[in-house]
């Protein structure tokens, strides 16, 4: 069963890697921290002594306006030490561990408030979402100026005679009388999102305090007790801010559930009934690759209509 899961995940990775490069993809980097919750740290996920630098790389593909898929690489570290907790510092057996963490995953993101932000107004001055008003109705902008509609696009001329084209996302492109681009106006926006994924995590824990000699040998000290590679499910979310057509930043945090109690190298000697978790959180910077403004097909039709006037 595990081999089948690995094969299916590999196929998903390959499918993403063969997707065409267009304006609907981006690359990003994450800088933050990683920490862990398990047999040594049972309650304080944000303990400063056990939080470590982490970074990640991501390739993201826009599946539609509100749903993204991505390939992800993360690297960090986790650790735990009984001496960081008052109720454990005097235990007869004080345990500690540290381990690097490498993660490969496929993730999917859902933007909760969507990206369709364009509104128009009717003759009464009532605001409507662009696709909620009849296509044959006369519509106006916020200033009361009449808009011409071309499918999902709206256009008018400003006082200098420049053509303004507005798309469903609220982006405005301004053309001069020769239909050359003068300006692109992009609505800055905050967008909360939820993420979930599938992947593999790789650990190499070094544990101190386990008994390997005498009558009280800990099972964890025996060879081949646990594996270093684990199937992992990231679950979390964030808040994204698109501040230009190409650039965005996000605050992001996600738990990772690796379906094992051995990411710290300890189980039977402490709490074998509960599996371990780890967290990766930080600030993500995103850059939309391949972004180059061209005359869209709809824009050309609009230009032709205005050229005749």
Which whole-number Å values give the CA distances from 262 to 9, 67, 276, 279, in the listed order? 23, 34, 7, 16
Shared-domain flag, residues 32 and 63: yes
In a domain, residue 166? The reply is: yes
Per-residue pLDDT of the chain (309 residues; tens, 9 = 90+): 545 544 444 444 444 444 443 447 899 999 999 999 999 987 777 888 899 999 999 999 888 778 899 999 999 999 999 888 887 877 878 899 999 999 999 999 998 876 666 788 888 888 887 777 777 788 888 888 888 887 778 888 888 888 888 877 777 888 887 777 888 777 777 889 999 999 999 999 999 999 888 778 888 888 888 889 999 999 999 999 988 878 899 999 999 999 999 999 999 888 888 899 999 999 999 998 754 444 444 555 666 666 555
8 A C-beta contact, residue 115 and residue 65: yes
Does one domain contain both 33 and 96? yes
Domain interval for residue 164: 119-184+293-307
Task: Please tell me the total number of residues recorded for the chain in this structure.
Answer: 309
| Interatomic CA distance for residues 232 and 103, integer angstroms | 8
What does the alpha-carbon distance between residue 34 and residue 253 come to, in Å, rounded to a whole number? Answer: 10
Do 196 and 88 lie in a common domain? yes
| Residue 232 neighbours by CB under 8 Å, 6+ apart | 103, 105, 198, 199, 200, 201, 256, 257, 258, 259
Whether 131 and 167 share a structural domain: yes
Position 293 scores a pLDDT of 47
For residue 197 the two structure tokens come to: 């994924």
> How many Cβ atoms from other residues are within 10 Å of residue 77's Cβ?
19
Are 74 and 164 members of one domain?
A: no
- Total count of domains within the chain: 2
Task: Look at residue 270 in the predicted model and tell me its pLDDT.
Answer: 87
- Tell whether 102 and 51 lie within a shared domain: yes
| CA–CA distance, 167 with 117 (Å, rounded to integer) | 10
- Does 204 share its domain with 272? yes
- Residue 262 is part of a domain; what is its CATH number? 2.40.160.20
Residues 86 and 140 both lie in one domain: no
Let me know if residue 15 belongs to a domain: no
Return the H-helix or E-strand segment holding 301.
helix 297-307
Judgement on whether residues 102 and 147 belong to the same structural domain of the protein: no
Does the residue 227 lie in any domain?
yes
Q: Is 140 helix (H, G, I), strand (E, B) or coil?
A: strand
Query: Do residues 164 and 271 share a domain?
Result: no
Residues 209 and 179 in one domain: no
CB atoms within 10 A of CB 179: 16
pLDDT, position 284: 98
Residues 67 and 83 in one domain: yes
DSSP 27-85: EEEEEEEEEEESSS-SS-TT-GGG-EEEEEEEEEEEEETTEEEEEEEEEEEEEEEGGGS
């Amino acid at each position: 069963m595990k081999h089948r899961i690995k094969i299916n995940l590999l196929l998903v990775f390959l499918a993403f890697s063969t997707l065409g490069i267009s304006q609907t993809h981006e690359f990003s980097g994450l800088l933050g921290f990683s920490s862990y919750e398990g047999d040594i740290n049972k309650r304080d996920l944000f303990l400063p002594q056990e939080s470590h630098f982490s970074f990640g790389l991501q390739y993201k593909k826009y599946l539609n306006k509100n749903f993204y898929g991505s390939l992800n690489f993360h690297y960090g570290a986790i650790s735990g030490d009984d001496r960081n907790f008052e109720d454990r510092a005097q235990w007869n057996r004080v345990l500690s561990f540290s381990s690097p963490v490498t993660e490969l995953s496929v993730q999917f993101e859902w933007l909760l408030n969507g990206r369709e932000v364009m509104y128009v107004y009717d003759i009464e001055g009532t605001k409507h979402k662009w696709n909620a008003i009849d296509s044959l109705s006369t519509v106006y902008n916020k200033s009361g100026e009449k808009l011409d509609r071309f499918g999902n696009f709206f256009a008018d001329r400003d006082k200098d005679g420049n053509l303004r084209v507005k798309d469903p996302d609220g982006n405005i492109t301004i053309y001069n009388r020769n239909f050359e681009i003068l300006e692109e106006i992009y609505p800055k926006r905050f967008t909360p999102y939820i993420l979930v994924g599938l992947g593999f995590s790789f650990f190499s824990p070094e544990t101190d305090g386990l008994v390997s000699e005498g009558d009280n040998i800990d099972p964890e000290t025996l060879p081949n007790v646990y594996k270093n590679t684990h199937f992992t499910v990231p679950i979390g979310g964030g808040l994204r801010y698109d501040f230009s057509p190409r650039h965005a930043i996000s605050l992001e945090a996600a738990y990772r559930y690796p379906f094992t109690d051995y990411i710290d190298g300890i189980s039977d000697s402490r709490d074998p009934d509960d599996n371990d978790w780890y967290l990766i959180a930080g600030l993500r910077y995103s850059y939309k690759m391949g972004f180059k403004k061209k005359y869209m097909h709809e824009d050309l039709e609009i230009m032709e209509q205005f050229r005749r006037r």
